[in-house]
Amino acid sequence: MDWRNKRVHFRIRDVYIPEAEKLVMKLHGDDLLQGTVGDVAQGETSDACYAVISVPGIDEKLIVRLDEILGDTWTSFQ
């Protein structure tokens, strides 16, 4: 079978080049996630604080710098 010019389906994790993480960042790096802050922690330096966030559909807790949070459900995004 000649595969040239055929539209195909494949999983991102099966991409050989570029690395899957790089591809996902290019495709979805600017997507917005929404979650609930469960805790806030001070970073190693005094000027960095982090939020521990639960996001529906993601098993692991996400840690995000507080100054990178764009808004909440009551405040418009900046």
**Tokens 């909440």 identify what position?**
72
Give the three-class secondary structure for 40: strand
Non-local CB neighbours of 38 within 8 Å, separated by 6+ positions: 52, 53, 54, 61
For the chain, the residue count is 78
Query: What values do phi and psi take at 67, rounded to 5?
Result: -75, -5
> In Å, what is the CA distance from 69 to each residue of 18, 24, 54, 62?
29, 20, 14, 12
pLDDT in tens, the chain (78 residues): 898 898 989 888 888 899 989 999 999 999 999 999 999 998 887 778 999 999 999 999 999 999 899 888 766 655
Prediction pTM value: 0.72
